[in-house]
A and B are shown apart, each in its own frame.
Chain A
Amino acid sequence: MRSASMTFALLSAALAASACHGSGETAVLLNGAGATFPNIIYQRWITDYNAAHPGVELNYQSIGSGGGIQQFTDGTVDFAGSDAPMTDEEMAKVGGNVLHIPTVLGAVVPSYNLAGVSQTVRFTPEALADIFLGTIKRWNDIRLASANPGVELPNQEIVVVHRSDGSGTSYIWTEYLSTVSSEWAQRVGKGKSVNWPVGIGGKGNEGVSAAVQQTPGALGYIELGYAMINNLPVGAVRNRTGNFVTPDLSTVAEAAAAGLAAVGPETDFRVSLINGPGDRTYPVSSFTWLLVHKDYGASTAKAKALTEYISWALTAGQAVAPELGYAPLPEQVKPWIEARLTTVTAAGKPVWSGPLGR
C-alpha cells in the first residue's frame, strides 16, 4: 500500500513538474525518500529552503531507510535518507556512485518507568545487554545496584519494551548491544528487526514510550529527540572511557566530534559512533545520512540544486536542529563535508564550487 501511494505521489509530482516545464517555468524538482528518523527536520528544511529558493522544489517521503536505499538504487529518487550507511554490497549495486553526507545526529536512549526513583538511573553496557538478554530480571539486581549507589532500586520485575517495527533505532540499539556484549552478538546480533529474547514490542517511538509509561517497571529504548520533546525519563550509560554519560545534544555532538577526529578528513563518512572514544561522549549516538550520487549524468540542474541545498542544510539549516530534538553537526566537520560536495559532478563536470564560490 505504502509503495503504491508512494509511486502515485512520485507520479503526480513528476506530472506537476512536467506541467511547470510546459508553461516555461524552470523549477527544479528533487525527489528523495528514506529514513523516518530525520523526517521532521528534513520537512522543516524543505519548507524553509523552498521559501527562500522558490525555483527548487524538494520532496522527501519517509518510507524507511531500506526503502530509501532501494529507490535510490533503482533510480526512482534523486537522493535518499538513511540511518545506516550503505554496505559495500549495496554500494556495488549503484556502481559505487554514491556519497554519504551526514546531516544531523541522533541517539538512542534507555527510558524507564520507576515510580519513586527520582535520580537518573545509570546503566553499564553489560547490565543493558543482560537486561535485554533476559538474564537480569529485576531492578534490584546487584549488577544494576552496584552502578547506582544511593539509588533505591525497587524489587520489581523489569519489563523490556522494544520496537516491533523494523527501524533504524533498533539497528543502532542492537549494534550497540552487539558491540558491548559478545553474547548478544552471538545470540541475537544487530538488525532493523531482530529475534528479541525477552520483552514486548511497541510500534514506533510512540508505541514504545506508551508501553513504558503504562507499565510499571518497564525499560525501553527510544530516540533522544522523542524523549526530549516528550520529557521522558532517560538513563545514563557508561561510555568507553568509563564515565556515565546522560544523553543530551552536547554529549551526542561530542561523540560525533571524537568519532570523526579519529578517522580524519579523508573519511567517506560511513563512521559508526557506537561506543566511540572521548570522555564526554554518549555511546549510543549515530549520524543520519543523505545519500547522493557522485555523478548525475545529464541532470546538471538537479545536481547543482541538490548540492546547494545540502550546503545550506549544513550551515543555515543546522540552527533549527536543537529545537527539533536533533544534535547539530560539529563545526569542524562542515569543511570536510563541503569539500566532498564539491566532488559531485554531472556528466563529469563539477556543479558546485563550494561555499566560497557563492
Chain B
Amino acid sequence: MAAPDEKRSQRPRFRSAGWGDALFRSGLTAAAAVVPALFLAIVGLLAVSAWPAMRQFGFRFLWSSTWDPVAGIYGAAPMIFGTLLSSLIALIIAVPLAVGVAIYLTEFAPNWLRRPVGTLVELLAAIPSVVYGLWGIFVLIPLLRSYVIPPLQAVLGWTPFFSGTFYGNSMLAGGIILAIMILPYISSVSREVLAAVPPSQREAALALGATRWEAVWSAVLPYARSGILGAIVLGLGRALGETMAVVMVIGNRHDLSVSLVEPGYTMAAIIANEFNEAAGLQRAALFEVGLVLFGVTVAVNALARLLVWRVARDSAVGSRAI
C-alpha cells in the first residue's frame, strides 16, 4: 500500500503544466468524445428516420413476416431470423476450423511453416467482400449443387434443416461464405492468444507425463479460453453485419424457414438491396431494420462479453485453486 501513496504524493512535484500540456489534454479528450458522440448520432438518426415505421407497426415489426412495399406492410422477422441463422452457420463451420488452425500453428507446425500459413490465413481477410460473392456464385454454389447437397439430402433430407429444393442461392451458401470471411479474424486472434500462453503451462503438463495433445487440451486451451471466446465474438460481429457477399448468394427471399437449402434474407442484405429506391414508409422501415440490426449486434456482443467475463473469472478462480 505504501508504493501507490508515495507515487500520488509525487504528483504535485511534476513541472507545472504549460499550454502545450493543456492543449494536448483537451485534444485527446475531444478525440475520445468523438466516438460516443458518433455512436449517439448514429442511433439518434436511425431512430428518428425509423419513427414513421415504428409508429405504424409497433412491435409487430419484429415478428411479422410480410414485407410488401406495394401494400405498405413491413415486418422484419425473416431478416432478423436469417441474420442470426446465417451467423450461427458461419460460427459452427468457422470456429472449429479457425481454432484448429491456430492450435496447429502455435503448437504443432514446424517453424518454417508457421509464418507462410499464418500469413495466408490472414490474407483471407484482405479479399474484398464482392469477390467472395462472385466466388460464391461461380464456384461454391455449383460445387454445393453437384457434390454436397445430393449426398446431404440423401442422408439428412428428412430433417427440417435440409428438406426442400436447393436452387443454389441459399442460407447454407450464405453461411459458408460468412464462415470463410470470419475465419481469418478468429484464427489470427486465437493464434495471438495461444502464443501468449506462458511456456510454463505446457512444460508443467508435459512434466506430469501428458502427451502433446493432452497438454494442449488440459493446460493451454483452458488458459486461453477467454481470449479465444473474444476472438469468436469478433468474428460473430463481422458475420452479423456482412452485406455484399451475403446479398449475392443468400437468395434474398422473405421466408421464415429453418431449411438451410432454401433461400433466405438478412437485415444487412435488405438494406443494401432496397435502400436506393426506397421512399416514404419503405425508407422508414429500412431504417428500422438498421436500428434492429444495431440492437441485435449490441445485444449479441453484450451477451458474448458477459460470457467472456464469466469464463475469465472462472479460470482465474481455477488457477488460484491450483
Binding site for B on A (CB under 8 A): 2, 63-67, 70, 157, 159, 164-168, 188-196, 199-203, 207, 210-211, 214-215, 218
Contacts and interface: CB of A to CB of B under 8 A. Distances in A.
A2 B274 CA distance: 13
B273 A166 contact: yes
Contacts of A64: 276-277
B187 interface: no
12 contacts: A67-B276, A67-B277, A164-B247, A166-B275, A191-B69, A195-B69, A200-B253, A201-B253, A202-B169, A203-B252, A215-B167, A218-B167
Which of B70, B272, B279 gathers the greatest number of chain A CB atoms within 10 Å?
B70
Contacts, number: 95
B137 A200 contact: no
A159 B164 CA distance: 13
Chain B contact-residue range equals: 20 to 34
A159 B145 CA distance: 14
Contacts of A202: 169, 248, 252
A188 B167 contact: no
A203 B278 CA distance: 15
Interface in B226-273: 247-248, 251-254, 263, 269, 272-273
B281 interface: no
Contacts of B203: none
Interface of B: 66-71, 137-138, 141-142, 165, 167-169, 247-248, 251-254, 263, 269, 272-279, 282
Contacts of B273: 164-166, 193, 201, 203
Given A165-B277, A203-B252, A159 B70 contact: no
B274 A165 contact: yes
A64 to B, nearest CB: 4
A70 B67 CA distance: 23
Contacts of A193: 69, 273-274, 277-278, 282
Contacts of A157: 165
A166 B274 contact: yes
A126 B133 CA distance: 35
Nearest to A189: B70
Given A189-B71, A200-B167, A203-B273, A166 B278 contact: yes
A189 B72 CA distance: 12
B59 to A, nearest CB: 21
B128 to A, nearest CB: 15
A70 B280 CA distance: 11
Contacts of B69: 166, 191-195
B240 to A, nearest CB: 18
A200 B70 contact: no
